[in-house]
Amino acid sequence: MIKCKEDLCVKFKFCCVECSEFETCEVSCTDNPDDCGLAVFEGTEIEIFQNKAKQLTQRIGELVLRKAEIEAEEKTMREQLQSGMEKHGVKQFENNVVRITYIDESTRSSVDSKMLKDKYPDIAAECTKTSNVKAHVKIEVKK
């Protein structure tokens, strides 16, 4: 919970950002609780973090959904380009914005690592490479 040191909200004594009437209230404070200097964060560390990150996580969720929409639109456009290029026998073209190349269907070979580990565990262990993975945040948007 975020409490406010000032009594801006006449009904409650918590931060306006947490109020259900925030969008419509005429006297709501629009300051970011992280920066205003009047917010008092209460609760467990995870609750405090969740409150502080609330606006950020909402914005990230919106961006991830928009990104998915853009990627779906891009996929449709790529399919249309591919279909047109196949129909007209165009292998490559470019303009001042993009260069587009049609790549024919082909096959690709790769090693089945599960089978290799099962059949030849010593060779798999000898050929296994360990890489450092940088710390990062994984975000999954719930629809």
pLDDT at 126: 93
pLDDT at 58: 85
pLDDT interval class at 45 (50, 70, 90): confident
| Mean per-residue pLDDT of the chain | 81
Cα(44)–Cα(50) distance, integer angstroms: 10
The domain ranges of the chain are 2-52, 57-127
Cα(1)–Cα(8) distance, integer angstroms: 16
Nearest to residue 71, comparing CAs of 79, 82, 61, 59?
79
What is the rounded end-to-end Cα distance, in angstroms, of the chain?
Answer: 25
The widest CA-to-CA distance across the chain, in whole angstroms, is 72
State yes or no: pLDDT of 35 exceeds 60: yes
Kindly state the percentage of the chain with pLDDT values over 70.
70
On whether the pTM is more than 0.75, the answer is no
Average pLDDT over residues 118-135: 94
Distances (CA, A) of 63 to 52, 55, 58, 98, 110: 19, 12, 9, 25, 35
Distances (CA, A) of 126 to 28, 64, 96, 112, 116: 63, 40, 49, 16, 11
Q: pLDDT by residue (tens digit) across 63-112?
A: 999 999 999 999 999 999 999 999 999 999 888 888 999 999 999 999 99
